[in-house]
Structures are given as C-alpha cells and as structure tokens.
Structure 1
Amino acid sequence: MSTGTLTAVVIGLTVFTTAVVTVLWWAGTRGLTDDKLVTARFEALRIGLSIGIGGGGVFALYLTWRRQRATEDDLDNRERALALQQQVAADTVAHQQRTADTSEKDAAERRITELYTKSADQLGSDKAPIRLAGLYALERLAQGNPEQRQTIASLLCAYLRMPFQLPGEPPIETDKDLVAAHQAQVQEREVRVAAQRVLSHHLLPGPDQALPTFWSGITLDLSGATLIDVDLIDCRVKAVRFAGATFEGAAQFRNLRVDGPASFAGAHFAADTGLELVRFSASADFSGTRFSGHAEFIGSTFAGSAGFDGVKFDGRGGFERVTFDGVVSFENAEFGAAARFHHAEFRAACRFGKAEIAGKTTFYGVRFARGGVFDNVTFAEDAEFVHTSFDGPAWFRRARFGGLARFDPVKFAGPVHLENAEFADSAAFGGATFGVAPILEGAEFAKGTRAVLEEAHGTG
C-alpha cells in the first residue's frame, strides 16, 4: 500500500472519530446539567475514542494481513521462479545429454562404418595376409557390436560365394608364374578355411546358449559356394542356404540345429557327410543333391517337410532312427550302395516313387504312419522290411525286386498294392499280417511265392 493511501486512511479515521465524538458530545448531552452532563460527555468521549481505536485496530489487522499475503505471494513467486530455474537447468542438462548421446552415437556409428569399410576393403585385397587381417577385424567388430553380426556374417558368406578353384597338386614345372599362381590358390584356400572357422566358432551356443562368443539368430547363405572341410558340429543357426554349394573334403553337421528353412538343393558333397542328430525345425530340401561318399542322417529329426527328390547317394545312405514329422519324398532318388532306415519313423506321407537302390535295402522296425508309396522302385539287391508296420496303404505297383524281398514279419493295416510288381528272387511274407487282402494283379513271383502268399492269406 502506498504512503498516500495510508495517510488518507489515517486522516479519514481521525475525522470520523472526531465527528462521532462531536455528535455524541453535543447532541447526546443536550438538556443535561451538572454531574449528568459531565458523565454523558465522558461517555461520549469514551465511545468515540473506542470507535476510533477499533477502526484503527481493524485497519492495523488489514495491514498485517496485506503484509502476510504479500510475503506469501513473494515466497510463492520465489518458489515458482526457483522451480522454473531448476526445470530450465534440468532441461538444459537433458538437452546437452541428448546432444552428447546423439553425438556419441553418431561418432560410434561413424567409427563402425569406417572400420567396416576398411575391413571390407582389406578382405578384397590381392594379398592373403591383408585379407586375413580384414577377416579378423570384421570378427572383432561383430563381436563388439551385436547389431552388426548378421551384416558381417552375410559379408563373409558373400566372400565364400565368390568363385574359387582348389589349388590341386604343386606344379612340377619351375615356371615362376605357375608356382606363384599355385601359391596364391593355396593362400586363398587358407583364407576361406579361416572364414569358415570364424562363422562356425560364433555359431556354437554352448550350454543354454551361454557362450559370450555365440551369435544368435544368424542366417547363412552359402548358395553356390565352394566349401572346404565344413565343420558345423553342435552349431545353431536361424536358417541355412547351401543350394548348389560344393563341399570339398568331409562335411560334418552332427547335432546342428536349424530353426528355419534349410536348403541343400543341388549341392555336391565330394566326401563323407555326417548329418547325425541334426534337427531341422522347418522344411529341409535335399532335392537334386549328390553325396559322393557315405551320408549318415542317423538320429536326425525333420520337423517340417523333407525333400530328397532326385538325390544321389554314391555311397551308403544311413537313415537309422530318423524321425520324419512332415511329408517326405525320395522320388527318383538313386542309392548307389546300401540304404538303411532301421527304426525310422515316417509320421506323415512318404513317397519313394521311381527310386533306384543298387545296394541292400533295410527297413528294420520302421513305422509308416500314413502308409508308403514305393511304386516303380527298383531294389537291385535284397529288400528287407522286417518288423515294419504300414498303418496306411502300402503301394508297390510295378516295383522290381532283384534280390530277396523279405516282409517277415510286417503288419499291413491297410491295402497292399502289388500290381505288376516283379520278384526275381523269393519273396518272404511269413508272419506278415494283412488288414485287407493284398492286391496281386499282374504281379510276377519266382519260385511259387504267389501260391504260398495266396494260400496263406486266402487271396487266391
């Protein structure tokens, strides 16, 4: 409150008090005399002064309230100002932190890009030691930056997909150019083997995927690549593409886990191949693949469809204790040696149409949950279906058995189609059980097997 206002209020109270006293002094004592007059005038003075003092007290209380209100408002304003300053300071710090983080992130990304570019350039060098240096630099970069691992794995796969020819034997000639070319091929082979080892090393999950060096969720695309002594034992990948790849030397995949699709279509395995205990969680395509050595799938699981159409086994094909959860097809497959399916389980449709098996075929203890199709299959040697069960139809139309055909004992729950089948040697059905009489139209049996089969099962 200003000084002028305060002065005016004081003057106003004084005037008002004087007016009250005057009124009470003269008007209130009119007609009184002696003691009553004196008493009345003192009473008027007391009342007027009380009114003046009361008004002054009220005004003093008002001034006190104003000062308190002003003090509180001032404190509130100061608190709001302080809070605003603190908020501004916090926002400034946060902005500076975000700016610093962004700058640091940008700087880190620039460093990663620079390292990646430099390492990729080294991998493209014409000198093997520099290529090796680039390879290991990329490995370190991926290990320290998980978000870069698939990119770097894809780069290594792209490098391995580049055309390459094995060096072969050293040249007998002393021509320096020939010797240098051979040495360059030898060095390139070592770089490629190192790249394969980098990938396999980081695809090993360890117990409960606990290894810090494990790169999870990696997809390998090595289509058309030339690979040497591949070792993916105990590894785990998201998906693999080896379509058209050439595997030089032994290829080991024991206990491999593939979470997504796997393609080996048209691949060539030049030596023995170990695919034991592999789990294919999705489709697996081996159509048109050639195994020049033995191929062992012992104990493996195919959770999705399995395609072996047109596959060629120059050596033994081992499918003991394999589980096929999805549809499996071996149509037009060629087995150059023995084909073994001991205790395998076919839980879905199974087709071997037009397959050719040059060696002994054994289906010991096998279960065909949906039956099996062996139409036009050629069994060049003995074919043994021992302790096997066909829960659905069994189709052997126009099948050719060059050796002993043994179905002893076998359980045929559905119809057995042997139309136009050819049995060059004896066919043993002793102990076999038929849910439906076998269909034998046009079948050719040697040594009276037809008569024995018809008599034993009332099909004549």
Structure 2
Amino acid sequence: MTAAERNSGPTPRGVMRWPLGLHTATVLVLAVGAAIMILGLLWLALGAPRVEVPGPLKPSDTYDAIKIALAVVAGAGGVVALVVAYRRQHLNETTDAREYEKALIERFGAAAGQLGADQPAVRMAGAYAMARLADEWPQERQMCIDVLCGYLRMPHAPDPPTDDQTLTTWQRERKVRETVLQLIGAHLRDDSPESWQGYDLNFAGAVIDAASFRGARFTGGDIVFAETLFVAHGRDQVIFDDVDFAEGSYVYFRLAEFRSGSVRFNRATFSGGWVTFDSARFTGAQVNFRDAAFTAGEILFEDAEFSDGCVDFSGATFTGGTVNFGEHHLPSVYLTVPPARFCGGTVDFSEAADLTHPPQFGLQALPPGLRLPLGTNISDLP
C-alpha cells in the first residue's frame, strides 16, 4: 500500500441494495431472536422455575394477553419505523457524499482549466486552487500533486529572452512556477496543516531557477529530479537548506544538470534515505553542502561529472551512511557504474568538520579539482 493510499479516507458507498421487505424481515427476526435469548437467560438466572397454570383464563387474563399482543405489534411497528428511518438517513448521507465528491471533481476540472489558461494571473490562481483541493481531498491528493508537478515539467526556456515583450511573458510564467514550487515546499514541512510528506513528487525534466524547500522533510515516496535543469539567474537560489532526507525517502537527482547560480543543501541532514546524483552534471553552479550532516543512508555520485563550478562541503560531518564517488558494482543486473569524473570543477572537502566515515572514491591519485583536508591521502580513503 502506498503512502497516498494509507492517508486516504473511505470512499462513499452506494445506497443499500437490500429490498425494504427483506431488510425489515431480517431486523424483525433478529429482534425476536434477541428477545427470546434475553428471556431464556432470565429464566435460567431465576433457576428455571416451572410455569403453573392456575386454571381457566379469567377476563383480566384475556385483557392482559391483548395488551401484550398490542405491545408486540407496536414494537414490531417501531422496528419497521426504525428500519425505514435508518434507510432514509443512509440514503441522505450517501447522496450528500456523492454531491460532495461531484463538487470536488468539478473543482478539480476548474483548477486544471485555470492552470491551462493564457493569463498568468489565472494560472497562479489555479495553482492555489489545486493545492487547496489537494488538502481537502485526501483520496485524490496524489492526483492533484501530480497535476502541479506536471505543470512544472511543461517546456520553459531556461534563459531569459532578449526582446522586451517575450521577456515579460517569460518573467510572468516564471512567477507562476515559483508559486507552484512554493506551495509544494510549504506542504513538505513538519508544521504544515496538511502534510504532503510521503507522496510522490515528479519534477523530471523540469527547469528550476528559483525555489525554496527549506525545512522540508523527505520521507517515503519518490522525489524525482531526474534530468532536471538547475539554472538560477543573478541572486536567485534553489534552496534545500535544513532539509531532512529521512529514512524511507528515495530522491533522484539522476542526470540532473547544475548549470548556473546557487543550489544550497546547507545544514541538510542525510539521516537514512537514498539520494542519488548518479550521472548528474555539475557544469557551472555553486552547489553548497555546508554544515550538512551525513549520518545514515546512501548518497551516490557515481558517474557524476564535475566540469565547472564548485561543490562545497565546508563544515560537513560524515559520521555514517555511504557517500560514494567511486565505481559501483550492481551484481543484481551484472552492471558496473563508472566512478565520478573530475574534469575541471571543484569538489571541496578541505574544510569538512568530521570525516569519521569518509566518502568513498576508490582512487590512488588525487584528481584535479578534488580537495581533501590537509594531511589526508586519497589512497587511504575507501
């Protein structure tokens, strides 16, 4: 069962399919059976006394029998009335549930339509409407999240155009995308009123130039940044500061490109998840893991290419888990993933705070661009 299924509530059921007569007869039989059982228990509790007939029935006895018969009939009528009232209430609740679900479906269609509108203000309103619908509709929350992520995967020029009119259009679309990312990031924090933690997030192929996931907690679900282009401009930053990559999370930066600007993982905690940067390309961005804590889990940089820019691990602590830049064998598929390639970029561990459990490189000679703490020999590392 997925996390989305665990978080979803019950779905409305259809009206009761029993015919009224059968339902009533069943309840009457159960009521009679219950009455007989209670009388039997009382009889046994009283010591199973013998019933003695004093003689011929008197008129008062006949009247008492008639009263008892009328009480039984009244009780049966009450049972029938209760059955009818129950069925009416059940029908009303089912109808209300269907109407509510119909309204949610209509709201989903309206929000999706707004996201596809020409005007950026309408698209932004659609993003807020879809996020609110996801909060109120846990049964289909994953679908709403998929729509928001799908919007980010739509084509978007990574660099601003040169002519003014096209630039204005590009900037407006960029603001809409920032809003979508802001809504998603806010729902991944522990203090979010409605948490989206544990749901899948698919940003594959998206262009991300400004976003904040500060304080988010990735736990459960697949978080996919595969083939994502990180291309911040000017002072724009993509922020993963204070993020907890917790146990149960699967975060993919596979084949992502860090082209320009700043991407920050400062004070991030890698405490048990599986995070992969395999085959990612670091081609000019400043990627900071300053004061990050690597305590458990796996963080993989296999086949990553560092050709420009800088990856800074100043103040980071490596006390557990696996951080691997080296060659990796996959015996299950008989495949060997090549090691990371240092071909122009800088990967700086020289100011790391703790290398109790150092990264794995599998190298005998220090490649250009890789900086280790003073006195550390690359051949002594795994």
Q: Same fold (TM over 0.5)?
A: yes
Aligned equivalents of 2:252, 2:112: Cα separation in 1: 27
Residue by residue over 1:372-424, the C-alpha shift from the partner in whole angstroms, topping out at 9 and shown as x without a partner, is: xxxxxxxxxxx6318xxxxxxxx93xxxxxxxxxxxxxxx8xxx99xxxxxxx
8 Å Cα contact 2:346/2:369 also seen in 1: yes
Aligned equivalents of 1:87, 1:115: Cα separation in 2: 42
Residue by residue over 1:167-197, the C-alpha shift from the partner in whole angstroms, topping out at 9 and shown as x without a partner, is: 51542xxxxxxx5433322221111111111
Q: Kindly state the Cα deviation for residue 359 of structure 1 after the two structures are TM-superposed.
A: 3.6
Which structure 2 residues correspond to residues 96-175 of structure 1 after superposition, within 5 A?
A: 96-166=88-158, 168-171=160-163
Aligned match of 1:203: 188
Aligned equivalents of 2:365, 2:180: Cα separation in 1: 38
Which structure 2 residues correspond to residues 169-248 of structure 1 after superposition, within 5 A?
A: 169-171=161-163, 179-206=164-191, 211-237=192-218, 238=220, 239-248=222-231
Aligned equivalents of 1:72, 1:322: Cα separation in 2: 90
**What are the ranges of 5 or more consecutive residues in structure 2 without an aligned counterpart?**
1-53, 327-338
One-letter amino acid of the structure 2 residue matched with residue 116 of structure 1: F
1:307 aligns with 2:295: no
Relative to 1, partners in 2 of residues 1:191 and 1:157: Cα closer, same or farther, differing over 3 Å?
A: same
Aligned equivalents of 1:184, 1:295: Cα separation in 2: 29
Aligned equivalents of 1:71, 1:351: Cα separation in 2: 100
**What are the ranges of 5 or more consecutive residues in structure 1 without an aligned counterpart?**
1-60, 172-178, 364-382, 387-394, 397-411, 418-460
8 Å Cα contact 1:305/1:325 also seen in 2: no
Aligned equivalents of 1:355, 1:100: Cα separation in 2: 76
Residue by residue over 1:23-43, the C-alpha shift from the partner in whole angstroms, topping out at 9 and shown as x without a partner, is: xxxxxxxxxxxxxxxxxxxxx
Aligned match of 2:239: 252
8 Å Cα contact 1:263/1:284 also seen in 2: yes
Determine helix, strand or coil for the equivalent of 2:223: strand
Determine helix, strand or coil for the equivalent of 1:165: coil
Aligned equivalents of 1:137, 1:338: Cα separation in 2: 42
Question: Which of 311, 316, 323 is the matching residue for 2:318?
Answer: 323
Residue by residue over 1:233-266, the C-alpha shift from the partner in whole angstroms, topping out at 9 and shown as x without a partner, is: 1012334110110112222111212341111111
Aligned equivalents of 1:303, 1:235: Cα separation in 2: 18
Determine helix, strand or coil for the equivalent of 2:193: coil
One-letter amino acid of the structure 2 residue matched with residue 305 of structure 1: E
Aligned match of 2:253: 264
Q: Which has the higher contact order (CA 8 A, sep 6+)?
A: 2
1:358 aligns with 2:339: no
Aligned equivalents of 2:365, 2:286: Cα separation in 1: 18
Q: Kindly state the Cα deviation for residue 82 of structure 1 after the two structures are TM-superposed.
A: 2.2
Aligned equivalents of 2:122, 2:347: Cα separation in 1: 47
Give percent identity, aligned residues only. Answer: 22
Aligned match of 1:70: 62
Residue by residue over 1:21-80, the C-alpha shift from the partner in whole angstroms, topping out at 9 and shown as x without a partner, is: xxxxxxxxxxxxxxxxxxxxxxxxxxxxxxxxxxxxxxxx734x4445433432332232
One-letter amino acid of the structure 1 residue matched with residue 172 of structure 2: Q
Q: Kindly state the Cα deviation for residue 355 of structure 1 after the two structures are TM-superposed.
A: 8.4
1:284 aligns with 2:265: no
Aligned match of 1:94: 86
Aligned equivalents of 2:156, 2:364: Cα separation in 1: 36
Aligned equivalents of 1:330, 1:197: Cα separation in 2: 32
8 Å Cα contact 1:342/1:362 also seen in 2: no
Aligned equivalents of 2:376, 2:128: Cα separation in 1: 53
Aligned equivalents of 1:166, 1:310: Cα separation in 2: 25
TM score, norm. by length of structure 2: 0.70
8 Å Cα contact 2:292/2:313 also seen in 1: no
Aligned equivalents of 1:181, 1:233: Cα separation in 2: 31
Relative to 1, partners in 2 of residues 1:219 and 1:319: Cα closer, same or farther, differing over 3 Å?
A: farther
One-letter amino acid of the structure 2 residue matched with residue 187 of structure 1: R
Determine helix, strand or coil for the equivalent of 1:265: coil
Aligned equivalents of 1:168, 1:385: Cα separation in 2: 44
Aligned equivalents of 1:279, 1:98: Cα separation in 2: 50
Aligned equivalents of 1:181, 1:212: Cα separation in 2: 38
Aligned match of 1:52: none
Relative to 1, partners in 2 of residues 1:95 and 1:287: Cα closer, same or farther, differing over 3 Å?
A: same
Q: Kindly state the Cα deviation for residue 309 of structure 1 after the two structures are TM-superposed.
A: 1.0
Question: Which of 348, 356, 359 is the matching residue for 1:339?
Answer: 348
State how many pairs are aligned: 299
One-letter amino acid of the structure 1 residue matched with residue 115 of structure 2: L
8 Å Cα contact 1:333/1:354 also seen in 2: no
Aligned equivalents of 1:355, 1:221: Cα separation in 2: 38
Q: Kindly state the Cα deviation for residue 322 of structure 1 after the two structures are TM-superposed.
A: 3.1
Determine helix, strand or coil for the equivalent of 2:190: coil
8 Å Cα contact 1:361/1:384 also seen in 2: no
8 Å Cα contact 1:307/1:328 also seen in 2: yes
8 Å Cα contact 2:188/2:197 also seen in 1: yes
One-letter amino acid of the structure 2 residue matched with residue 333 of structure 1: A
Relative to 1, partners in 2 of residues 1:221 and 1:244: Cα closer, same or farther, differing over 3 Å?
A: same
Determine helix, strand or coil for the equivalent of 1:80: helix
Determine helix, strand or coil for the equivalent of 2:135: helix
Aligned equivalents of 2:286, 2:366: Cα separation in 1: 17
Q: Kindly state the Cα deviation for residue 346 of structure 1 after the two structures are TM-superposed.
A: 2.1
Determine helix, strand or coil for the equivalent of 1:96: helix
One-letter amino acid of the structure 2 residue matched with residue 205 of structure 1: D
